[in-house]
């Protein structure tokens, strides 16, 4: 777990060799702007949820080369002595702006914008991508699972199948941001002040002489979180009847439970939950919870609901914590502008034969457009930083790939919001870091600005992300210029 | 990054509630045996590579509840005071045996066997699974990628797309165990004494006035690792010609380079590499390396080779570090035996309607059978710990699901090897931990014991994993007994 760790060397070797190059050629202090963005939403979704900023902040704050780090780099025999000397006092001194955690984001939008001396901006690329890519992936996946559960609480249960301790611990953090009510991972609960969740396992049942004794023992000790796992031997034949017996004994003894019920972890969850529901209802326990956990994801939860499954609490593991159907988030980090030597930020562009891979040049901001009446998100506009947009004026936006596709907004029908928020200024943190549960609330509000059509699991309605006229013109001019030079 | 971190609370909440239960009911010291095993090889492979043991050892050694941990647990209001008091001196006091890292393993074999008081064995389940599942997954994936590269070196380049810092750093460790020659992740290189690898990025080229100047600057500074990225503007039109110009200038200046060449990161790698090879050869640089890195995996590398691609150094990122086509390894941790109260270990079994989910009861060991002449692995035998196998006797093994499938070995034609190795005894480490590069060498030797048919990417020939007659009889008797009781 990387909290408070020095991850300075957690970077690609080439960042360090390039830093050496910038140092050697006297370019290290040239100010540059890098954009961290992605090109495609994961899961064929219409949006992503941004997460990981808080760990990115800690990473930046802890950034320094320890004497051991410098000795190690020296041992590689590829770095010059004056460069290694310089690293001793290395700190991040630049500016970072970011879309706040829990926000809805779309392809090509800078999730993070770094303005710093090139030698600093280069170093931090890899760790920033690693942190933001990972947590944005899991937060987005979680939002889909929670959406499919239609208001039922979802618990994150994936630690044992996560891709290592951070993936399990920070992934659970991201899952809570995306809407999970809690996690089985006690370390996540402790570090981020979220609810730890859990029941008991098959080995508990097997460690007693029989299932009923095991259930009684658990109920006696944890009457207020008495969810009994009923599938160790025979779900409907012994598990549910024994659970009912224990619930009856609790009731007879006058024990009132805040939360009680059963957990299904194998078999046909639709059938078993419906049968168990009948048995519990007939025994006089209509408020007994039926929870389930067995290789679930958003698609299975949707299908189980369609099949009438009587499950009201979901434990989701492997497929959430690994984002199994799409286990990587394709964030990249590209040069957008560079000081021309006189203090003016000159736009930079990366060309490609593949049109969607051509970057957007210049120092940019993101303007989000809402319908004033409904509050729904209508579209985003990527613009140059010094452009001014005035809600009292008509607004026209257009698709940068199909420029005849235009949307017009009359004054009074729309509101605007700028997404990029100052995080660091001159290396100093200027951002007040919200708690994970605050981020979860914000994320919920963010998702409420999306029409249901954009939250569908399949064929979700995309949201337009347009370029301002000025940015579009700049980009076209730069493409023309490079093409003419060829 | 979790090295030297206290991960004691990185466990599922239910482990702690069950520990409270064992404590409360006076069962905490009952000795149990848990097996950590998996049911299916990932990637439809015929085997897995085990990895992560060294981090599991560190986890066990660091295991303790800090005062902050205990205060946190107390704040949850679900634990009793005497239990929390007990946790203050909690340490792992049991035995652990494991298959060494880098070993070939097969489904249903205990990769790790824990014999400990139930209260200790229960706690460590989640973290052990997380660590072993993750690294075994990536080591196995890496072995496939390296196999597809047919002797070409493979570098691990995935940090930026990994599922968090540990996934990037420990994943790179596992990738080196699986056969990668090095990693771009400098922290992995530092922590585990493996080779850091890298070139330069597009932003290096873009930060200079032109590509040729950028290449010259890089070559001057890093003549011995001079791999130039040629696709920033136009691979064959400018990138390769500019690289050749720089190589010629180096040669003219009498600079001898240990390693020089180009890197392709986009476009049609087969076509571009063949054209680049021709250009480099014609210019007199037949030993210039052509490396490639663009969403590669074992299947793409195999296809590129079939298409005649002239690539001799592979950088593999996202699809290796996330094991993209199968991002989880299904390790589980099941109770196999329990002290009957008199010091005798009583076998335990977990039944299931699904035959492959029925566990193997008892305290077990794994015997590997090799062909004496060829050294090839012929099969594995899961046996009870006290069984004795004698190479001077004939050996017959049989498929536990299709018992008519039998293999017979005459004395002198086979050799045996026991896989489980003592790691902890009475909580003390008794194992000499090999370095990552030693594990890599061992892993290479392990893979050499597999026939090529078992290493195929598709339809690989499976290896028999049989049960000894005694274990088979025990299992059948226990299944019969439970069925009779129903």
ipTM comes to 0.97
Higher pLDDT, B351 or B21: B21
pLDDT of residue B4: 59
Per residue in B109-134, pLDDT (tens digit) is 999 999 999 999 999 999 999 999 99
- In the structure encoding, which two tokens stand for residue A27, read together? 């370019």
pLDDT of amino acid A111: 98
DSSP per-residue string spanning B301-350: HHHHHHTT----EEEE-HHHHTTTTS-----EEEEEEEE-SSS-EEE---
Q: CB-based contact (8 Å) between B199 and chain A? A: yes
Average pLDDT, chain B: 95
Helices (H), A193-339: 202-206, 211-221, 240-252, 269-282, 298-306, 318-321
Mean pLDDT for B150-170 is: 98
Task: Give the one of B12, B135, B318 whose C-beta lies nearest to A159's C-beta.
Answer: B12
Closest CA to A449 of A42, A149, A104, A151: A104
* Cβ atoms of residues B227 and B155 within 8 Å: no
Beta-bridged to residue B333, according to DSSP, are: B36
* Minimal-distance CA residue of chain B relative to A483: B233
Q: Which residue has the tokens 């070797």?
A: A13
**B294 and B315 Cβ atoms separated by less than 8 Å:** no
CB neighbours of residue B5 within 10 Å? 19
Contact B159 A130 (CB under 8 A): yes
pLDDT tens digits along A453-466: 999 999 999 999 99
Residue A356 confidence (pLDDT): 80
By the CB < 8 Å criterion, does A441 face chain B? no
Q: From residue B2, how far is each of A175, B58, B88 by CA, in Å?
A: 20, 10, 22
How far is C-alpha B72 from the geometric centre of its chain's CA atoms?
34
- How far does the CA of residue B307 sit from the closest CA of chain A (Å)? 22
Pairing mode, strands B48-49 and B104-105: antiparallel
Retrieve residue B100's tokens.
């060494």
Residue A3 has pLDDT above 60, yes or no: no
For residue B449, the model assigns a pLDDT of 98
Taking the Cβ of residue A241 and every Cβ of chain B, the question of whether any pair is shorter than 8 Å is answered with no
Instruction: Please provide the CATH number assigned to the domain covering B139-321.
Output: 3.20.20.70
End-to-end CA distance of chain A: 49
Q: Classify domain A140-321 by CATH number.
A: 3.20.20.70
CA distances from B290 to B140, B142, B226, B265, B275 (A): 26, 21, 11, 11, 11
Q: Where are the domains of chain A?
A: 13-138+327-485, 140-321
Chain A contact present for B70, CB below 8 A:
no
Rounded distance between C-alpha atoms, residue B215 and residue A19, angstroms: 15
* Contact assignment for A338 to B207 by CB distance below 8 Å: yes
Read off the tokens for A309: 């499954």
Work out the minimum CA distance from A407 to partner chain B, whole angstroms.
34
Structure token digits, residue A62: 């802890």
- Which of B358, B427, B331 has its CA nearest to residue B126? B331
Instruction: Count H helices and E strands in chain A, helices first.
Output: 16, 21
pLDDT tens digits, one per residue of A83-142: 999 999 999 999 999 999 999 999 999 999 999 999 999 999 999 999 999 999 999 999
Q: Cα-flanking dihedrals φ and ψ of residue A349, to 5°?
A: -135, 145
Q: What percent of chain A has pLDDT over 70?
A: 99
Cα four-point dihedral sign B289, B294, B296, B300: negative
Q: Provide the pLDDT confidence category of residue B1 given band limits of 50, 70 and 90.
A: very low
Sign of the CA dihedral running B56, B61, B65, B68: negative
Q: Distance from B351 to chain A by nearest Cα, in Å?
A: 7
The predicted structure's pLDDT at residue A486 = 54
The CATH number given to B13-138+327-485 is 3.20.140.10
- To the nearest whole number, what is the mean pLDDT of chain A? 95
Per-residue pLDDT, A1 = 46
Q: Please give the C-alpha separations between residue A153 and each of A271, B2, B77, in angstroms, as whole numbers.
A: 21, 31, 22
DSSP conformation letters of B194-213:
--B-----HHHHHTSSSHHH
What pLDDT, in 10s, does the model give residues A366-375? 999 999 999 9
β-bridge partners, B313: B291
Whether the CB of A13 is below 8 Å from some CB of chain B: the reply is yes
Residue A262 has phi, psi (to 5 degrees) of -130, 160
CA-to-CA dists, residue B72 to A168, B9, B13, B120, angstroms: 19, 10, 12, 19
When CB atoms are compared, the residue of A165, A335, A352 closest to B7 is: A165
Q: What average pLDDT score do residues A373-382 get? A: 97
B154 in contact with A at a CB cutoff of 8 Å? no
Write down the pLDDT at residue B329.
98
User: Around Cβ B343, how many Cβ atoms within 10 Å?
Assistant: 7
């Amino acid at each position: 777990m990387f909290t408070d760790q020095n991850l300075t060397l957690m970077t690609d070797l080439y960042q360090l060799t390039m830093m050496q190059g910038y140092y050697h050629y006297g370019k290290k202090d040239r100010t540059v702007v890098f954009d961290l963005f992605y090109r495609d939403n994961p899961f064929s979704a219409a949006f992503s949820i941004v997460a990981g900023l808080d760990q990115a902040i800690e990473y930046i704050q802890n950034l320094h080369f320890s004497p051991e780090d410098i000795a190690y780099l020296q041992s590689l025999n590829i770095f010059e002595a004056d460069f290694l000397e310089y690293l001793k006092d290395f700190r991040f001194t630049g500016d970072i702006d970011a879309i706040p955690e829990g926000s809805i984001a779309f392809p090509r939008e800078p999730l993070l914008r770094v303005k710093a001396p090139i030698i600093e901006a280069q170093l931090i690329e890899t760790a920033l991508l690693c942190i933001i890519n990972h947590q944005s992936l899991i937060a987005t996946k979680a939002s889909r699972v929670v959406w499919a559960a239609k208001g039922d609480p979802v618990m994150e249960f994936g630690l044992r199948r996560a891709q290592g301790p951070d993936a399990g611990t920070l992934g659970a953090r991201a899952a809570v941001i995306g809407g999970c009510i809690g996690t089985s991972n006690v370390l996540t609960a402790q570090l981020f002040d979220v609810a730890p969740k859990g029941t008991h396992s098959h080995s508990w049942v097997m460690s007693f002489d029989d299932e009923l004794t095991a259930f009684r023992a658990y109920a006696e000790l944890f009457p207020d979180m008495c969810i009994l796992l009923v599938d160790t031997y025979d779900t409907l034949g012994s598990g549910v009847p024994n659970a009912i017996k224990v619930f009856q004994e609790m009731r007879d003894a006058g024990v009132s439970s805040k939360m009680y019920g059963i957990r299904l972890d194998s078999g046909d969850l639709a059938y078993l939950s419906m049968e168990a529901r009948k048995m519990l209802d007939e025994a006089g326990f209509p408020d007994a919870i039926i929870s389930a956990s067995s290789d679930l994801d958003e698609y299975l939860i949707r299908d189980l609901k369609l099949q009438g499954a009587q499950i009201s609490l979901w434990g989701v593991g492997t497929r959430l914590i690994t984002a199994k159907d799409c286990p990587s988030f394709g964030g990249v980090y590209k040069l957008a502008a560079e000081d021309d030597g006189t203090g003016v930020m000159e736009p930079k562009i990366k060309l490609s034969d593949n049109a969607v891979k051509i970057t957007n040049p210049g120092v940019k901001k993101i303007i989000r457009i809402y319908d004033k009446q409904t509050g729904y998100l209508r579209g985003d506009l990527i613009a140059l930083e010094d452009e001014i947009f005035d809600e009292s004026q008509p607004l026209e936006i257009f698709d940068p790939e199909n420029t005849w596709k235009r949307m017009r907004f009359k004054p009074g029908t729309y509101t605007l919001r700028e997404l990029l928020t100052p995080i660091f200024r001159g290396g100093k943190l200027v951002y007040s870091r919200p708690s994970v549960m605050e981020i979860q609330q914000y994320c919920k509000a963010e998702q409420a600005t999306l029409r249901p059509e954009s939250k569908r699991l399949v064929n979700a309605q995309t949201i337009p992300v347009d370029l301002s006229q000025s940015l579009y013109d700049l980009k076209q001019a730069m493409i023309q210029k490079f093409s003419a030079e060829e």
